[in-house]
Amino acid sequence: MPSLATVPQEIHYKLLSSLHDFEDLSATVLSTRALHSAFQSNRRRVLSAVGRNFIGNIFTDALLLARAQEKRDGSAALNVKGLSSSTVRLLVDNAETIGELQTIVFGLLKDQHTVDLRNRATMTQFAEAPPIVVASETESIRFKAAAYRFSVYCLIGSLEGRIAFLKRYPQLQILELSHFVNALWILASVIRGRPLETDRDWDLVSTLMSTGPHNILRLWTLKLTHPAAFKAALLDEHKKSADDYDGFMEEWCDLMDVQGFPSDAGLRECAILDGAAGHERAVSALEAARALSAADGATATTWGRGRASPEMDSGEENMMAHSWTDEEEVWGKSKDGIDDDPFGRSINSPIILLSC
């Protein structure tokens, strides 16, 4: 009877690739010399497979965020083919953070009117007892994809890079992203704890949003568990707002305006949610708008993979028309890291931004 040591290494690879998280992988690899050898010979393929099992359909979004964080930190992991141990740690930590954020924010996605940003009492009530609403599997996927993407968006250092990043996604996914950002804006406002009454109020919350979901969750946790540390952290954010305010959320509103969304007033507050009043409504509205545009012979102005804006030059059209595969998204064309386009490539074509 063949033993584990004598079966073909491809069987070992398939066994390791079927595991559902990195802790199980670590324990299994250390269990026998044969499995350890199979892992060393197929490290990149195994880590990628387990990563996909662990994170699911949004693995590419999760890996893009990890690569963006490594670039921000100047990590040597960017020079490693495939996943390094530090990249795996980022994937695990980010998944945990976004899962925690979903628990807090999803109730705001269901009903953004739970909190009135002009009424401190409703903000205090939410902070004391945020409603816990359980997401369905499909809602959770949409939420987490939007959270990963907005986290990457916040790490991109230029307007041109942020525009290029948004162009990677079809209009429906931009609507989902907008839905997530609307809810996160409410949470950031609750963290500050004061009604939005002045430009100064807007500027501070805008600065909080620019720091990304991870920092917003950190501040929320401090607010609930360490009030003194929270006050010090919020004071730091006040100073940043006074010294470095760059109009982050005004720019975001401008970028959403040029998407050409249908004029349905509630469309940006439903796209992540299931059902006829949610995702189906967003899909129907976008399909109806495209049909009307085609009937009128209008030039498409929406962004999204493969759809060019009239303002784009030929180089940008080529960038958008590029057929990304999962492998290219994850590893880059040279197979040595994520494609660097949103963080380095220059886009020279002017984009006219509308007011929010």
The residue to which tokens 């568990």 are assigned = 225
At 241, the pLDDT band (50, 70, 90 cuts) reads: low
Say what the alpha-carbon torsion angle 125, 130, 131, 137 is, to the nearest 10 degrees: 160
Contacts of 345 (CB under 8 A, 6+ apart): 161, 164, 319
Render 238-260 in DSSP notation, one character per residue. Answer: HHHHHHH---HHHHHHHHHHTT-
pLDDT at 338 exceeding the cut of 70: no
Mean pLDDT of the chain: 80
* Most confident stretch, 107-121, 285-299, 307-321: 107-121
Count the Cβ atoms, other than its own, within 10 Å of residue 67: 26
Helix (H) and strand (E) counts in the chain: 18, 0
pLDDT in tens, 64-115: 999 999 999 998 888 877 788 899 999 999 999 999 999 999 988 887 778 8
Render 129-161 in DSSP notation, one character per residue. Answer: S----PPPHHHHHHHHHHHHHHHHHHH--SHHH
pLDDT at 289 exceeding the cut of 70: yes
**Residue 293 buriedness (CB in 10 A; 0-12 / 13-18 / 19+):** middle
pLDDT at 245 exceeding the cut of 70: no
Distances (CA, A) of 41 to 13, 199, 279: 9, 58, 44
pLDDT at 308 exceeding the cut of 80: no
d(CA 92, CA 131): 26
At 324, the pLDDT band (50, 70, 90 cuts) reads: very low
pLDDT at 230 exceeding the cut of 60: yes
Contact 353, 257 (CB under 8 A): yes
pLDDT in tens, 44-63: 889 989 999 999 999 999 99
Contact 353, 253 (CB under 8 A): no
At 242, the pLDDT band (50, 70, 90 cuts) reads: low
pLDDT of residue 4: 67
3-state secondary structure 260-312: CCCCCCCHHHCCCCCCCCCHHHHHHHHHHHHHHHHHHCCCCCCCCCCCCCCCC
Contact 348, 164 (CB under 8 A): no
Count the Cβ atoms, other than its own, within 10 Å of residue 314: 9
